[in-house]
Structure 1
Amino acid sequence: MRPTRTTVLLTAGLVTLLGVPAVAAAENPTDLHVNNQSGSNCSDTGAGTQAVPYCTISAAARAVLPGQTVRIKPGWTYDEAVTIDRSGAPGKPISFVAEEGWDGQQADLGELLTVRGASHVVLGSLFTRGGVQISGSTDVGMDRIRAARGRLDGVVVDGASKDVRIGRSNLVGVRIEGGSQGTVLSRNLISGSAQPGVTAVDAPGTVVTNNTVRGYCATGVSVGGASTGSGLFNNVIATEARSSYCKTDEPRNAILVEQSATAGTVVDYNLVTGVPSAPVQMPYRWAGTTYPDPAAFHAATGQGGHDILTAGQAGVGPVEGSPTVDSADPTAPGVLPSDINRKPTGDDPSVPNTGKNGGYLDRGAYETHDGLSQAWMNIDKTWAPAGTKVEVQAVSDSRWPTAMSYHVDFGDGTAPVVTQQGTGAHGLATHAYGKPGDYVIKVTAVNGAGQQATTQQTTKVTPAGPLTAAFSATPFLPAPNDTATRVPPLTMSFDPSASATPWPVERTDVDFGDGVQRSFPGLAIGKYTYSRPGDYTATVTVVDVKGTRSTTTRPVHVEYAKGGYTAVTPFRLKDTRVNGGTLQGGSPASIGMPIPFNAAGSASGGMSAAVINVTLTNVTQDAYLNVSSAYDDRPTTSNINARAGATVSNTVTVPVSEIGQVWFYLNAGRADVIVDFVGYYQPNAGEKFSPVAPARLADTRTPGAGGAVAGGTTRTVKVAGVGGIPADAKAVAVNLTSTEATQNSYVVAYPDPAKRPEPASNLNPEPGKAKSNQAIVPVGPDGTITLYNHAGSAHLIVDAVGYYGKNGKALYTPVVPKRLADTRTTGKLAAGATTTVSGVPAGAVGAVLNLTATESTGAGFLTAHAFGSARPEASSLQTLPGLTVSNHVTTPVADGRISVYNSQWGGPNHVIADLLGYFTQG
């Protein structure tokens, strides 16, 4: 059959309708740019480059040349009436195209767009609020246009225009008149209102194909005057006759062809419908006669033999079961290969192809599609030994599963397995891998229209062989400078990933060697916190999905990790005089350290040891206090010894328990306890420590030192940049001594003289007694610390023993308190004599001791210093006749040994040295 002239014209202009034709790079002139958005640097007097675009479309319309494209930036409205009166050339049209955004945003024109007396023009992705008028023009293509003009037609073609093609657009009313010829409307959504959706008057050869037209209160498509040789094909045409919406309630025709336009005009394969509550009453009017249905229409005129009439719009359109699906004429003039949403023609396999010659084009502007967007797979064995058959089940969200095929690439270089089309909703593929490895399986789902969706998943292929358990046990430490995550000390990671596992592992059972067993899923790394350091024998059993078991054991060494120190301004954690909880002899009591979930404050979730100042008061009988991390496994050491009625303080460095607690055990009687938090040690955080030979930084007894510190006053002491302590030290470890006190008092050491912590204390002076206590104090302004005396007056002595800072050399390792020396088994240390304390771990450069003098016969002092070094003038502990006195001591170490000197005038003493921890090079 010879094609009609309209078909030939449409085919010739089809590429132009769908987009700007491609030309050779050498022939393609530079594009012009229009951008009126803020910051675009636009100018209507420039050349329209991308760097300096035009501000208006009109400026580009005056400058555009054949073959050029005017690229319009969407965004702000172009509030201008645009007239295009320049022409392109055959194969080199002038084009005005918006650069669509991700959501299909179009350039917005606020006024009328006119093409007048021009030829070879393309318009694309434009929104014209003032409508479009094409007058006296030839070969004009419009694609992806939105056009509206109030109650007037949104698009008007007149002035004897020729070969105007409008496709894939959203239009409010189209009017073709004035002798215009060969106008083609295809795949548009067209709405009428007071006027018909489409009106052709004196417009021969008008083609209206595959449009969805809503006539509402007027005729859907009206063809009149000398519009002979026109065609209406594959359209969905709806009209409205409800008085609640329309001014009048008379019947509306969906298709109206006047007598003067019937010659050569063809109507077929349309669907005519109304709204659900108001069916079309008179769908056809041909040459002045109305027809109630397609049968009557066809019988009388020979037209509409394949038309469909439905009662209402429900179920009509791109939905399952719609009569529009696969029922159109694919050979009709004006047919486009894609719909209004740019989706290609799709064949619904569940619907018979009732279109002409068995075609599957849909009627209307929309094409029903599969909707394929996702694919999934299920691998029956994501972990198996080499040689095992692996089965992949592929599925997708296709609505047309019988037209699907699945391409399964197993990722090992073998050819993909392709399931046959028509296999149903899923495809099955099997494969056996030849060698171990991790392989990525990729599934591509392909529907009948060629659309694709992909997914991928990794499968593990293991060596064939027996299940063999293996594991590593390593310390689990806080991440660098992480103070928020709770990581208890003595936490170990048990990693069974080194096990030989031909089949997936169901679980891993771990016996940690301390009476605790736990199970972990698969080969998950298990974390476990021991209550005490030591050597344990751990047993790991791996169980796979086949029920096979393999067990292995190995020794696990658990110890505290070394860490840096973070000093804080002291704050009070507990005072049983205020909060209750007086210590009872023989009954351990716990106090929570300020880890992040502890209400007492916030320090760190990863601290391994806390530094606290502990004060006993209201002691009812002679007793000692032991501070440890465990409730029922206390070391045979003590931290404070107190007589009945006394108030005694000592600094304590103690590991914290798994839940951040420290336990206090009073051996006899009752006593109130006061606990002030002064800092903490943590792996991978804090400052390093450097011990120094004890050096006296202040002694108020010396001339010019200001004399005794009066009650309620402070004394500032320079600590950084003196006594071997560098100027940039962050904190200092000092031994504080009070003497010649006039009444019972307390002394606080703190960094900022303007911010004295309250309540807090470091030392409790008493009349007639020289008392010592060690403190670790953050360095304040100008490298100083401040001392506050609460009551009476007292002389204060400050001896430096070390510092913490970025130039520090050593990190701290806590230990379960261990007794290194006790002269009660060897005899008293004579006045003026020195004893050697051994047993500090090899490599230590410093140690933290609890040093105790007991059975003293006179007032004197003890001084601890590195073995083999010169004895300093500073003191570590003040001895008192008849009293047992303890002090927290930080001292340098040499060759694992410490020297302890007993002053000449204090008389002989028994000396006890308990190790709390030690420093090694970090």
Structure 2
Amino acid sequence: MLRPTRATVLLTAGLVSLLGMPATAAAAEPPTDLYVDRTTTLCSDSGPGSDAQPFCTISAATRTVQPGQTVHINPGRAYNEDVVINRGGLPGKPITLVSELGDSAKFRLAPGKTLTVSGASHVNVSGLDAPSGIRVTGSTDVGLRALTVTNNPDSVTIDGGSSDVRLQHSKLKTSVRVESARDVVLSRNEIQGYVHPAVVAWDATGLVVTNNTIRRDCEAGIKLSGGSTGAALFNNVVHTDFEAGCADPGARYGIEVAQTATAGTRADYNLITGPFTADRIAYKWAGATYADRTSFHAGTGQGAHDILTPTSQGVGAVDGSPTIDSADATAPGVLLTDGLGREIGDDPRVPNTGKDGGYLDRGAFELYNNLVAVRAELEPGWAPAGTPVKVKATADSRWLAGLTYTYDFGDGTTPLVTPATTADHVYDKPCACTVRVTVSNTARQQVFTQLSAKVTANTPLTAAFTAQPVLPKADAPDALVLPLSVEADAQSSAMPWPVDRVDVDFGDGTKESRSTLEPVRHAYKQPGTYKVTTTLKDIKGATSTAERNVEVGYTPAGYVAVRPARVLDTRTTNTPVQGGAATPIAVPVHYYSSGPHHTAGASAAVLNVTVTGATEDTHLGVWPSGQARPATSNVNVKAGGTSSNTVTVPIGADGKISAQLNSGKASLIVDFVGYYQPDAGQRFAPITPTRVVDTRTAGGALGGGQTRTVKVAGVNGIPADATAVALNLTGTGATENSHVIAYPHQDQRPTTSNLNLEPGKDKSNQAIVPVGPNGTITLYTNSGSTHLVLDAVGYYGPNGTTLFTPVVPQRLADTRTSGKLAPGAATTVTGIPANALGAALNVTATDTTGPGFLTVYGHGGVRPGASSLQTRSGETVPNHVTTPVADGRVTVWNSYGGANHVITDLFGYFTRG
């Protein structure tokens, strides 16, 4: 609930002066304010009426208010009560009722309820909406301001011998009746008479009716009767063309003064609108009627400066109105603020025809200057020091004459104050200056605008630029950032004049042009060193070129595991892949309820790729789209067989990868299981391969359609908060063709697979599996039965130590050029970056003489007991291998089963980042 601040209390004190009351004498202690608020449950009429516990009703406050106190009334809900003020203040210490939120948010009485000031003195009421009326009777020194009354005839009444009553700045859809009262002032009100005259007086001596806008229904706009002598009627606008149902259909008048009321009564500077006909007459004075100003002045001596117009159109606070600057500013009851509280202003477009050359407007409302805004242009806005510049200002104002412009050029020089709409200036040194243009009018309104001036050194154009990799932001990981993106920014160039054209040659055959000096982005298709050239041309025709070599490479990234999604299955489209033709595959990096969606922020994808139904023995290679097909391979398959493998591959500049069969035809199935992205995901911790489960020694074979839950986190050196685990998954003793799925949540099995099995063959595949509840994963096989062996090779999570950097797939070693790896022998593979702590490899065993297995581990380390891939006599067997690395080398050991050729391909490596 809002409460008035100290400033509000001070403004209320100012309001007392505005209402024309005597100045308040200083008191030793400020009066205690009272509060009324029926919107709160804390209110109580038996309480203190404090801010903390306000009264519920206005009447409770008026019964207790003391001289000098102000009652702040919350306008939130209408007050269903008749309010009577029958106690008063003292000279200089009035009692005051105000809306707690100011005059624009009036406190309201419910329909049918009224305000009465009876037998009281020194009372102020401001910001009241009293639909059913207000009465002041037998009271003295009463100020009524900013009131609204909407219903009933004669619902504003001042009578009973009241004196010194001021009704100001109010909107009244009712007649105002003043009877048996004296020294009443009506000023700056909008009064719409209802059935009876708008202002009607009887025995009201010294009545002042000044600067009101009056619309009368019947009889007269202003009507003085009885002994209403000594009245002053000035600066009013009286519309006679407004009417409703009238009880008396007789003649109607703008101003009507009875013979008994003419003594000492004066009328001038009023404006009366027609149409003027036999029953619509401007004046009736002492029983005589006058149709025009000339005859009225001649017959009465009044109205010498009155204006009569045949219609109300164009009359009021509008351009061209005859009310503008034509009133008497010395008339009794004049206020220098209009009905909306705005200060008066001199319209410089019209002559000042008011008394003694004054510029007060007639009626309740002033034509407001309404200085809304100013716009400014600086030409040139960018130039070297010593260049003359010009500011041109355009004000949005009702009238432009009389405006003052202040130009502050922001360089410490003295601001220029002038009536001119333009200003010239010369900066003597470079700066990024703010130019401020302020416009003022005669009503003391001000508006301003600011614009930037770029003042440069007076030197030749010299191109320069920076080239930085563009990476996804941690707070916007899904932003469109393609791998290997670089941003060239030439804003560091020395540019005395604005640039007209920026040309960037990225060194790979791609060129970009811009008309503004903004950073230019480009996604390269592959890593490398490129010569980037930037050429600038400014608006004066000068050109300059800069070039530099830019290293483009992949950025270390964290791993983001996703719900596995099948992104390609050529069996459903009957479009098998064919040897010699690359197949593009769009890679998603998020999976939503509507399906997988690609969002270009990832640098590499992790896939499970299956080849089935091959027409001949063949192999499949996977690589980034847009790059040349490498010599590496990922999946080897025999004719008629099914083979799968995990693939980690960089994403191409178009957001895709390419896959190509070496020969023959086959169906291709691609499952998306995760991705690497800079500034996202989890770090990886490689570990010495560790056996997690072996159903041959515990639990028995997994039957078709069955599941088995295995704990993988919180055991075997893998922390409990790991989010995903890299496993080598081996199937042995399968009784029929089947597939195995490893997944995190037992009740949310995906349709993708991790390992395809054939009876009588041991098969391995590496999988990165998100960790499920309580550090577990679930295993499932669709048919037959099989033994499963799981070896952990690393994990992802908060305790991870490394980030992944993808590389263009490259072959590190191939024993087919150096001789087979004998049973029990080991070979060292080099070519991995020296700072690598782990690597993502594709290891292939071929030309095998007997079944066995290969184990890959960090060079110089202790060989683990776990295997990395199962070898089979006469077959080519690949597997994705994630392994620790030492000194840029790994060791591949061959079991005692048979000799093998071993092919090792690198797809990325792990570093501390």
- What interval of TM-score do these two structures reach, taking the shorter chain for normalisation? over 0.9
Determine the C-alpha separation between the residues in 2 that align with 1:742 and 1:224.
120
User: Match of 1:835?
Assistant: 827
User: Match of 1:861?
Assistant: 853
1:817-896 residue pairs with structure 2 within 5 A? 817-896=809-888
User: Match of 1:607?
Assistant: 602
Query: In structure 2, the residue corresponding to 1:620 is in which secondary structure?
Result: coil
Q: Does 1:772 align with 2:764?
A: yes
Query: In structure 2, the residue corresponding to 1:577 is in which secondary structure?
Result: helix
| 5+ long unaligned stretches in structure 1 | 1-11
Contact 1:864 1:900 in 2 (8 A): yes
User: Match of 2:700?
Assistant: 707
Determine the C-alpha separation between the residues in 2 that align with 1:710 and 1:184.
103
User: Match of 2:909?
Assistant: 918
Contact 1:382 1:459 in 2 (8 A): yes
Match of 1:133 among 132, 135, 140: 135
Q: Which deviations, in whole Å up to 9, do the C-alpha atoms of 1:448-487 show, x marking residues without a partner?
A: 2221111112222222212211111111111116343221
| TM-score, length basis structure 2 | 0.95
User: Match of 1:752?
Assistant: 745
Partner AA of 2:759 in structure 1: P
User: Match of 1:762?
Assistant: 754
User: Match of 1:285?
Assistant: 284
Determine the C-alpha separation between the residues in 2 that align with 1:21 and 1:537.
83
1:536-685 residue pairs with structure 2 within 5 A? 536-595=530-589, 600-602=595-597, 604-631=599-626, 633-685=628-680
Query: In structure 2, the residue corresponding to 1:844 is in which secondary structure?
Result: coil
Match of 1:447 among 417, 425, 441: 441
Partner AA of 1:606 in structure 2: G
Contact 1:383 1:461 in 2 (8 A): yes
Determine the C-alpha separation between the residues in 2 that align with 1:508 and 1:206.
79
Q: Which deviations, in whole Å up to 9, do the C-alpha atoms of 1:704-750 show, x marking residues without a partner?
A: x2322222222222211223222221111111111222221111111
User: Match of 1:383?
Assistant: 382
Determine the C-alpha separation between the residues in 2 that align with 1:308 and 1:280.
19
Partner AA of 1:827 in structure 2: G
User: Match of 1:53?
Assistant: 54
Match of 2:525 among 531, 534, 542: 531
Q: Per the alignment, do residues 19 and 641 of structure 1 end up closer, same or farther by CA in structure 2, a change over 3 Å counting?
A: farther
Contact 1:205 1:227 in 2 (8 A): yes
Q: Does 1:729 align with 2:722?
A: yes
Q: Per the alignment, do residues 638 and 14 of structure 1 end up closer, same or farther by CA in structure 2, a change over 3 Å counting?
A: closer
Determine the C-alpha separation between the residues in 2 that align with 1:574 and 1:368.
74
Determine the C-alpha separation between the residues in 1 that align with 2:803 and 2:45.
71
User: Match of 1:34?
Assistant: 36
Contact 1:241 1:251 in 2 (8 A): no
User: 1:20 Cα deviation (Å)?
Assistant: 9.5
| TM-score, length basis structure 1 | 0.94
Q: Which deviations, in whole Å up to 9, do the C-alpha atoms of 1:600-629 show, x marking residues without a partner?
A: 513754111111100001101222111111
User: Match of 2:299?
Assistant: 300
Contact 1:240 1:252 in 2 (8 A): no
Q: Per the alignment, do residues 880 and 442 of structure 1 end up closer, same or farther by CA in structure 2, a change over 3 Å counting?
A: same
Query: In structure 2, the residue corresponding to 1:342 is in which secondary structure?
Result: coil
Determine the C-alpha separation between the residues in 2 that align with 1:437 and 1:580.
67
Q: Which deviations, in whole Å up to 9, do the C-alpha atoms of 1:389-431 show, x marking residues without a partner?
A: 22111111112112111011112222111123xx4xxx11122
Contact 1:623 1:642 in 2 (8 A): yes
Say which is worse superposed, 674-683 or 44-53, in terms of deviation: 44-53
| 5+ long unaligned stretches in structure 2 | 1-13
Contact 2:75 2:100 in 1 (8 A): yes
User: Match of 2:72?
Assistant: 71
Determine the C-alpha separation between the residues in 2 that align with 1:770 and 1:415.
89
User: 1:512 Cα deviation (Å)?
Assistant: 0.7
Match of 1:809 among 797, 801, 820: 801
User: 1:596 Cα deviation (Å)?
Assistant: 6.1
Q: Which deviations, in whole Å up to 9, do the C-alpha atoms of 1:643-666 show, x marking residues without a partner?
A: 211111011011112332111111
Q: Per the alignment, do residues 781 and 13 of structure 1 end up closer, same or farther by CA in structure 2, a change over 3 Å counting?
A: closer
User: 1:570 Cα deviation (Å)?
Assistant: 2.0
Partner AA of 2:224 in structure 1: V
Q: Per the alignment, do residues 391 and 617 of structure 1 end up closer, same or farther by CA in structure 2, a change over 3 Å counting?
A: same
User: Match of 2:4?
Assistant: none
Q: Which deviations, in whole Å up to 9, do the C-alpha atoms of 1:465-514 show, x marking residues without a partner?
A: 12211111111111116343221111112121211122222332211111
User: Match of 1:518?
Assistant: 512
Determine the C-alpha separation between the residues in 2 that align with 1:711 and 1:445.
85
Partner AA of 2:126 in structure 1: G
Q: Per the alignment, do residues 837 and 18 of structure 1 end up closer, same or farther by CA in structure 2, a change over 3 Å counting?
A: farther
1:206-285 residue pairs with structure 2 within 5 A? 206-240=207-241, 245-246=245-246, 249-274=249-274, 281-285=280-284
Q: Which deviations, in whole Å up to 9, do the C-alpha atoms of 1:219-251 show, x marking residues without a partner?
A: 111001001111111101112476x75466543
Determine the C-alpha separation between the residues in 2 that align with 1:775 and 1:115.
90
User: Match of 1:7?
Assistant: none
Partner AA of 2:683 in structure 1: K
Determine the C-alpha separation between the residues in 2 that align with 1:717 and 1:633.
42
Q: Which deviations, in whole Å up to 9, do the C-alpha atoms of 1:875-903 show, x marking residues without a partner?
A: 11111122211110000001110000011
Q: Which deviations, in whole Å up to 9, do the C-alpha atoms of 1:512-552 show, x marking residues without a partner?
A: 11110102342211111111111111011122222221111
Query: In structure 1, the residue corresponding to 2:410 is in which secondary structure?
Result: coil
Percent identity, aligned pairs only?
Answer: 54
Q: Does 1:467 align with 2:453?
A: no
User: Match of 2:182?
Assistant: 181
User: Match of 2:7?
Assistant: none
Q: Does 1:205 align with 2:196?
A: no
Partner AA of 2:520 in structure 1: G
Q: Per the alignment, do residues 246 and 138 of structure 1 end up closer, same or farther by CA in structure 2, a change over 3 Å counting?
A: closer
Q: Per the alignment, do residues 234 and 274 of structure 1 end up closer, same or farther by CA in structure 2, a change over 3 Å counting?
A: same
Q: Which deviations, in whole Å up to 9, do the C-alpha atoms of 1:183-205 show, x marking residues without a partner?
A: 11111001111111001110111
Contact 2:137 2:162 in 1 (8 A): yes
User: Match of 2:5?
Assistant: none
User: Match of 2:117?
Assistant: 115
User: 1:274 Cα deviation (Å)?
Assistant: 3.9
Q: Which deviations, in whole Å up to 9, do the C-alpha atoms of 1:25-79 show, x marking residues without a partner?
A: 745312222222124x222223322112222222222222222222222111122
Q: Does 1:477 align with 2:471?
A: yes
CA RMSD of aligned residues (A): 2.1
Q: Which deviations, in whole Å up to 9, do the C-alpha atoms of 1:863-882 show, x marking residues without a partner?
A: 10000011111111111122
Query: In structure 1, the residue corresponding to 2:60 is in which secondary structure?
Result: helix
Contact 1:748 1:788 in 2 (8 A): yes
Partner AA of 1:500 in structure 2: A
User: Match of 2:11?
Assistant: none
Q: Per the alignment, do residues 543 and 23 of structure 1 end up closer, same or farther by CA in structure 2, a change over 3 Å counting?
A: farther
Q: Per the alignment, do residues 399 and 536 of structure 1 end up closer, same or farther by CA in structure 2, a change over 3 Å counting?
A: same
Determine the C-alpha separation between the residues in 2 that align with 1:20 and 1:390.
56
Contact 1:482 1:685 in 2 (8 A): no
Determine the C-alpha separation between the residues in 2 that align with 1:446 and 1:482.
46
Query: In structure 1, the residue corresponding to 2:455 is in which secondary structure?
Result: strand
Q: Does 1:99 align with 2:90?
A: no
Query: In structure 2, the residue corresponding to 1:513 is in which secondary structure?
Result: coil
Q: Per the alignment, do residues 548 and 303 of structure 1 end up closer, same or farther by CA in structure 2, a change over 3 Å counting?
A: same
Query: In structure 1, the residue corresponding to 2:401 is in which secondary structure?
Result: helix
Determine the C-alpha separation between the residues in 2 that align with 1:842 and 1:531.
25
User: 1:127 Cα deviation (Å)?
Assistant: 1.3
User: Match of 1:785?
Assistant: 777
1:424-435 residue pairs with structure 2 within 5 A? 427-435=421-429
Contact 2:525 2:627 in 1 (8 A): no
Query: In structure 2, the residue corresponding to 1:300 is in which secondary structure?
Result: helix
